Amino acid sequence: MRVLITGGAGFIGSHLAEALLSRGDEVLILDDLSTGSLENIRHLKNVPKLNYWIDSVMNKSLLAELVDECDLVVHLAAAVGVRLIVESPVRTIETNIKGTELVLEAARKKKKMVFIASTSEVYGKSTHFPFREEDDLVLGSTDKGRWSYAASKALDEFLALAYWKERQLPVVIARFFNTIGPRQTGQYGMVVPNFVRQALEGKPITVFGTGKQSRCFCYVGDTVAGVLKLLDAPESIGQVFNIGSSEEISIEDLAMLIKTKLNSDSPITYVPYDQAYEAGFEDMPRRVPSTAKIERHIGWYRSTSLDTTIDLIAEYFKQRQKPLPYSFTAKPQTSYPQLENTDAVA
- Residues taking part in catalysis: 149
**Alpha-carbon distance 139 to 147, whole Å?**
7
3-state DSSP call for residue 239? Answer: strand
Exposed e or buried b per residue across 265-277, where buried means at least 16 C-beta atoms within 10 angstroms of its C-beta: ebebeeeebeebb
Listed in order, strand segments (DSSP E) in 32-112 are: 50-54, 72-75
Query: How many other C-beta atoms lie within 10 A of the C-beta of residue 298?
Result: 16
Residue 2 one-letter amino acid? R
**Alpha-carbon distance 99 to 58, whole Å?**
6
Residue 207 one-letter amino acid? V
**Alpha-carbon distance 95 to 73, whole Å?**
17
CA 72 to chain centre: 19
